[in-house]
Structure 1
Amino acid sequence: MHPRYFDRQALTACWREALLAQAVVADAGRGYSKHPQLRRFQLMSSPEAAIGDYLSAIADEADRRGYRFTRAKILARGAESLTVNSAQLAYEWQHLLAKLHQRSPDVWERWQSITVPEPHPIFAVVEGPIADWEKISPV
Protein backbone atom coordinates (compact mmCIF):
# COMPACT_ATOMS: atom_id res chain seq x y z
CA MET A 1 0.00 0.00 0.00
CA HIS A 2 0.98 3.61 -0.28
CA PRO A 3 3.63 4.53 2.29
CA ARG A 4 1.54 7.52 3.44
CA TYR A 5 -0.42 5.07 5.58
CA PHE A 6 2.65 3.87 7.49
CA ASP A 7 3.55 5.03 10.94
CA ARG A 8 7.18 5.92 11.62
CA GLN A 9 8.08 2.36 12.58
CA ALA A 10 6.55 0.84 9.44
CA LEU A 11 8.15 3.43 7.18
CA THR A 12 11.65 2.90 8.55
CA ALA A 13 11.24 -0.90 8.64
CA CYS A 14 10.00 -0.90 5.05
CA TRP A 15 13.04 1.14 3.98
CA ARG A 16 15.46 -1.23 5.72
CA GLU A 17 13.77 -4.38 4.43
CA ALA A 18 13.58 -3.07 0.87
CA LEU A 19 17.29 -2.18 0.98
CA LEU A 20 18.00 -5.77 2.02
CA ALA A 21 15.78 -7.04 -0.78
CA GLN A 22 17.67 -4.83 -3.22
CA ALA A 23 20.98 -6.35 -2.06
CA VAL A 24 19.61 -9.87 -2.49
CA VAL A 25 18.24 -9.15 -5.97
CA ALA A 26 21.50 -7.49 -7.02
CA ASP A 27 23.49 -10.55 -5.87
CA ALA A 28 21.23 -13.56 -6.50
CA GLY A 29 23.32 -15.95 -4.42
CA ARG A 30 23.13 -13.75 -1.38
CA GLY A 31 20.96 -14.09 1.71
CA TYR A 32 17.28 -14.76 1.27
CA SER A 33 17.24 -15.00 -2.52
CA LYS A 34 14.45 -17.58 -2.35
CA HIS A 35 12.23 -15.46 -0.08
CA PRO A 36 8.71 -15.73 -1.55
CA GLN A 37 7.95 -12.01 -1.41
CA LEU A 38 10.95 -11.29 -3.62
CA ARG A 39 9.25 -13.11 -6.49
CA ARG A 40 7.18 -10.05 -7.34
CA PHE A 41 10.42 -8.19 -8.10
CA GLN A 42 12.46 -11.08 -9.48
CA LEU A 43 9.87 -11.71 -12.20
CA MET A 44 10.32 -8.21 -13.61
CA SER A 45 12.52 -7.56 -16.62
CA SER A 46 14.63 -5.30 -14.37
CA PRO A 47 14.29 -6.46 -10.75
CA GLU A 48 16.85 -3.91 -9.52
CA ALA A 49 14.92 -1.04 -11.10
CA ALA A 50 11.63 -2.36 -9.68
CA ILE A 51 13.02 -2.39 -6.14
CA GLY A 52 14.66 0.98 -6.77
CA ASP A 53 11.31 2.45 -7.76
CA TYR A 54 9.76 0.87 -4.67
CA LEU A 55 12.45 2.43 -2.49
CA SER A 56 12.07 5.82 -4.20
CA ALA A 57 8.43 6.08 -3.14
CA ILE A 58 9.40 5.19 0.43
CA ALA A 59 12.08 7.92 0.33
CA ASP A 60 9.52 10.39 -1.10
CA GLU A 61 7.26 9.76 1.90
CA ALA A 62 10.22 10.10 4.27
CA ASP A 63 11.04 13.46 2.64
CA ARG A 64 7.44 14.59 3.04
CA ARG A 65 7.70 13.86 6.77
CA GLY A 66 11.07 15.58 7.18
CA TYR A 67 13.10 12.37 7.49
CA ARG A 68 16.26 11.90 5.47
CA PHE A 69 16.67 8.47 3.90
CA THR A 70 19.84 8.17 1.84
CA ARG A 71 18.70 8.00 -1.78
CA ALA A 72 22.25 7.19 -2.87
CA LYS A 73 21.56 3.66 -1.59
CA ILE A 74 19.05 3.13 -4.39
CA LEU A 75 20.92 1.25 -7.13
CA ALA A 76 18.54 1.60 -10.10
CA ARG A 77 15.21 3.07 -11.17
CA GLY A 78 12.88 3.06 -14.15
CA ALA A 79 11.02 -0.24 -14.07
CA GLU A 80 7.64 -0.96 -15.56
CA SER A 81 4.82 -0.98 -13.03
CA LEU A 82 3.98 -4.12 -11.08
CA THR A 83 0.57 -5.53 -10.31
CA VAL A 84 -0.91 -6.50 -6.97
CA ASN A 85 -4.06 -8.55 -6.55
CA SER A 86 -6.96 -6.79 -4.88
CA ALA A 87 -7.27 -9.46 -2.17
CA GLN A 88 -3.52 -9.20 -1.45
CA LEU A 89 -3.81 -5.45 -0.99
CA ALA A 90 -6.85 -5.93 1.28
CA TYR A 91 -4.99 -8.54 3.35
CA GLU A 92 -1.94 -6.32 3.75
CA TRP A 93 -4.20 -3.38 4.66
CA GLN A 94 -5.88 -5.33 7.46
CA HIS A 95 -2.48 -6.49 8.69
CA LEU A 96 -1.21 -2.89 8.79
CA LEU A 97 -4.36 -1.61 10.52
CA ALA A 98 -3.97 -4.25 13.24
CA LYS A 99 -0.36 -3.19 13.83
CA LEU A 100 -1.29 0.50 13.83
CA HIS A 101 -4.11 -0.11 16.30
CA GLN A 102 -1.61 -1.59 18.77
CA ARG A 103 1.42 0.56 18.08
CA SER A 104 0.19 3.96 16.84
CA PRO A 105 -3.46 4.55 17.75
CA ASP A 106 -3.39 8.11 16.40
CA VAL A 107 -2.28 6.87 12.96
CA TRP A 108 -4.84 4.02 13.13
CA GLU A 109 -7.58 6.58 13.90
CA ARG A 110 -6.63 8.59 10.81
CA TRP A 111 -6.84 5.62 8.44
CA GLN A 112 -9.18 3.03 10.00
CA SER A 113 -12.27 4.14 8.04
CA ILE A 114 -10.58 3.54 4.67
CA THR A 115 -11.80 0.28 3.17
CA VAL A 116 -9.74 0.27 -0.04
CA PRO A 117 -6.33 1.89 0.39
CA GLU A 118 -4.33 3.39 -2.41
CA PRO A 119 -1.55 1.02 -3.52
CA HIS A 120 2.14 1.82 -3.45
CA PRO A 121 2.84 4.05 -6.50
CA ILE A 122 4.59 1.31 -8.49
CA PHE A 123 1.66 -1.11 -8.19
CA ALA A 124 -1.49 -1.30 -10.28
CA VAL A 125 -4.32 -3.20 -8.62
CA VAL A 126 -5.88 -6.11 -10.51
CA GLU A 127 -8.74 -8.30 -9.40
CA GLY A 128 -7.42 -11.46 -7.79
CA PRO A 129 -6.76 -13.54 -4.66
CA ILE A 130 -4.18 -13.30 -1.93
CA ALA A 131 -0.79 -14.23 -3.39
CA ASP A 132 0.15 -17.88 -3.13
CA TRP A 133 3.42 -16.93 -1.40
CA GLU A 134 1.67 -15.07 1.43
CA LYS A 135 1.86 -16.65 4.86
CA ILE A 136 -1.58 -15.85 6.17
CA SER A 137 -1.73 -14.97 9.84
CA PRO A 138 -4.76 -14.05 11.88
CA VAL A 139 -5.34 -10.30 12.22
Structure 2
Amino acid sequence: MRVWSVHPRYLDRQGLVACWRETLLAQAVLAGRTKGYLNHSQLVRFRATADPVASVCAYLGVLAVEADERGYRFDRSRIDRPVALDAVVPLPVTEGQVAYEWAHLLAKLAERSPDRYALVRDVTDVAVHPLFVPVPGPVEPWEKT
Protein backbone atom coordinates (compact mmCIF):
# COMPACT_ATOMS: atom_id res chain seq x y z
CA MET A 1 0.00 0.00 0.00
CA ARG A 2 1.35 3.44 -0.93
CA VAL A 3 -0.60 6.49 0.16
CA TRP A 4 1.62 9.17 -1.36
CA SER A 5 2.59 12.31 0.54
CA VAL A 6 3.64 14.02 -2.69
CA HIS A 7 0.98 15.84 -4.67
CA PRO A 8 -0.99 13.53 -6.97
CA ARG A 9 -0.19 15.81 -9.94
CA TYR A 10 3.17 14.05 -10.17
CA LEU A 11 1.75 10.54 -10.41
CA ASP A 12 1.39 8.81 -13.75
CA ARG A 13 -1.88 7.12 -14.69
CA GLN A 14 -0.88 3.85 -13.06
CA GLY A 15 0.25 5.60 -9.90
CA LEU A 16 -2.89 7.69 -9.59
CA VAL A 17 -5.19 4.70 -10.09
CA ALA A 18 -3.16 2.57 -7.65
CA CYS A 19 -3.17 5.35 -5.07
CA TRP A 20 -6.96 5.66 -5.40
CA ARG A 21 -7.48 1.93 -4.95
CA GLU A 22 -5.01 1.61 -2.10
CA THR A 23 -6.47 4.61 -0.29
CA LEU A 24 -9.95 3.11 -0.67
CA LEU A 25 -8.51 0.04 1.06
CA ALA A 26 -7.04 2.29 3.76
CA GLN A 27 -10.49 3.84 4.20
CA ALA A 28 -12.04 0.39 4.63
CA VAL A 29 -9.43 -0.53 7.22
CA LEU A 30 -9.90 2.71 9.17
CA ALA A 31 -13.69 2.32 9.04
CA GLY A 32 -13.41 -1.23 10.42
CA ARG A 33 -14.76 -2.98 7.33
CA THR A 34 -11.86 -5.34 6.72
CA LYS A 35 -9.66 -7.66 8.72
CA GLY A 36 -6.62 -7.30 6.49
CA TYR A 37 -3.98 -4.56 6.57
CA LEU A 38 -5.00 -3.56 10.10
CA ASN A 39 -1.42 -2.84 11.10
CA HIS A 40 -0.18 -1.37 7.84
CA SER A 41 2.48 1.25 8.53
CA GLN A 42 0.99 3.80 6.11
CA LEU A 43 -2.09 4.09 8.35
CA VAL A 44 -0.17 5.41 11.37
CA ARG A 45 -0.51 9.05 10.34
CA PHE A 46 -4.26 8.77 9.74
CA ARG A 47 -4.83 6.98 13.03
CA ALA A 48 -3.04 9.81 14.83
CA THR A 49 -5.85 12.21 13.91
CA ALA A 50 -9.07 12.92 15.82
CA ASP A 51 -11.09 11.46 12.93
CA PRO A 52 -9.04 9.06 10.79
CA VAL A 53 -11.90 8.30 8.40
CA ALA A 54 -12.53 12.01 7.75
CA SER A 55 -8.83 12.52 7.03
CA VAL A 56 -8.65 9.64 4.58
CA CYS A 57 -11.87 10.81 2.92
CA ALA A 58 -10.40 14.29 2.45
CA TYR A 59 -7.30 12.65 0.94
CA LEU A 60 -9.48 10.68 -1.49
CA GLY A 61 -11.34 13.83 -2.50
CA VAL A 62 -8.12 15.40 -3.73
CA LEU A 63 -7.32 12.28 -5.76
CA ALA A 64 -10.78 12.47 -7.36
CA VAL A 65 -10.21 16.11 -8.33
CA GLU A 66 -6.86 15.20 -9.91
CA ALA A 67 -8.55 12.39 -11.81
CA ASP A 68 -11.21 14.82 -13.07
CA GLU A 69 -8.52 17.20 -14.30
CA ARG A 70 -7.04 14.38 -16.36
CA GLY A 71 -10.36 13.23 -17.78
CA TYR A 72 -10.62 10.11 -15.62
CA ARG A 73 -13.76 9.25 -13.69
CA PHE A 74 -13.16 7.99 -10.19
CA ASP A 75 -16.36 6.85 -8.48
CA ARG A 76 -16.80 9.41 -5.71
CA SER A 77 -19.64 7.35 -4.24
CA ARG A 78 -16.92 5.05 -2.88
CA ILE A 79 -15.75 7.82 -0.54
CA ASP A 80 -17.51 7.18 2.77
CA ARG A 81 -18.03 10.86 3.55
CA PRO A 82 -17.32 13.85 1.32
CA VAL A 83 -14.98 15.89 3.51
CA ALA A 84 -13.49 19.24 2.50
CA LEU A 85 -9.81 19.74 3.23
CA ASP A 86 -10.56 22.73 5.43
CA ALA A 87 -12.75 20.49 7.63
CA VAL A 88 -9.78 18.41 8.79
CA VAL A 89 -6.53 19.28 10.50
CA PRO A 90 -3.56 19.02 8.10
CA LEU A 91 -1.25 16.12 8.83
CA PRO A 92 2.46 16.71 9.24
CA VAL A 93 4.86 14.97 6.88
CA THR A 94 8.61 15.23 7.29
CA GLU A 95 10.76 16.74 4.59
CA GLY A 96 12.81 13.56 4.70
CA GLN A 97 9.70 11.52 3.92
CA VAL A 98 8.84 13.76 0.99
CA ALA A 99 12.39 13.46 -0.36
CA TYR A 100 12.28 9.67 0.04
CA GLU A 101 8.95 9.39 -1.76
CA TRP A 102 10.09 11.75 -4.50
CA ALA A 103 13.15 9.62 -5.25
CA HIS A 104 10.98 6.49 -5.14
CA LEU A 105 8.43 8.01 -7.52
CA LEU A 106 11.08 9.26 -9.96
CA ALA A 107 12.58 5.77 -10.16
CA LYS A 108 9.14 4.30 -10.91
CA LEU A 109 8.36 6.94 -13.52
CA ALA A 110 11.73 6.56 -15.24
CA GLU A 111 10.98 2.87 -15.73
CA ARG A 112 7.29 2.77 -16.61
CA SER A 113 6.31 6.29 -17.75
CA PRO A 114 9.17 8.09 -19.50
CA ASP A 115 6.88 10.89 -20.70
CA ARG A 116 5.67 11.69 -17.18
CA TYR A 117 9.23 11.34 -15.89
CA ALA A 118 10.41 13.93 -18.43
CA LEU A 119 7.72 16.34 -17.20
CA VAL A 120 8.64 16.11 -13.51
CA ARG A 121 12.29 15.06 -13.25
CA ASP A 122 13.57 18.62 -12.88
CA VAL A 123 11.13 19.61 -10.12
CA THR A 124 13.12 20.83 -7.14
CA ASP A 125 10.35 22.23 -4.93
CA VAL A 126 8.14 19.16 -4.58
CA ALA A 127 4.56 19.97 -3.62
CA VAL A 128 2.84 17.70 -1.13
CA HIS A 129 -0.72 16.40 -1.16
CA PRO A 130 -2.84 19.27 0.23
CA LEU A 131 -3.81 17.19 3.28
CA PHE A 132 -0.21 17.35 4.45
CA VAL A 133 2.04 20.10 5.71
CA PRO A 134 5.82 19.60 5.48
CA VAL A 135 7.83 19.77 8.69
CA PRO A 136 11.57 19.34 9.23
CA GLY A 137 12.72 15.82 9.90
CA PRO A 138 14.05 12.56 8.47
CA VAL A 139 12.13 9.78 6.73
CA GLU A 140 9.07 8.91 8.81
CA PRO A 141 9.64 6.03 11.26
CA TRP A 142 6.71 4.08 9.75
CA GLU A 143 8.25 4.06 6.26
CA LYS A 144 9.61 0.74 5.02
CA THR A 145 12.92 1.77 3.45
Relative to the length of structure 1, the TM-score reads: 0.94
For structure 2, the 5+ residue unaligned runs are 1-5
Report how far residue 75 of structure 1 moved.
1.1
Instruction: Determine if contact 1:90/1:116 at 8 Å carries over to the other structure.
Output: no
Q: 1:86 aligns with which of 88, 91, 95?
A: 95
CA deviation vs aligned residue, 1:101-138 (integer Å, no higher than 9, x gap): 000001000100112310001100000110111111xx
Q: How many residues align?
A: 136
**What letter matches 2:127 in structure 1?**
E
Change (3 A) 1:92 1:116: same
Give RMSD over aligned pairs. Answer: 1.1
Runs of 4 or more, structure 1, over 6 Å off, are none
Q: 1:14 aligns with which of 15, 19, 23?
A: 19
CA deviation vs aligned residue, 1:32-83 (integer Å, no higher than 9, x gap): 1111110010110000010001100100000000100011111122321111
For structure 1, the 5+ residue unaligned runs are none
Distance 1:102 1:22 in 2: 29
2:52 is the counterpart of 1:56 = no
Relative to the length of structure 2, the TM-score reads: 0.91
2:80 is the counterpart of 1:75 = yes
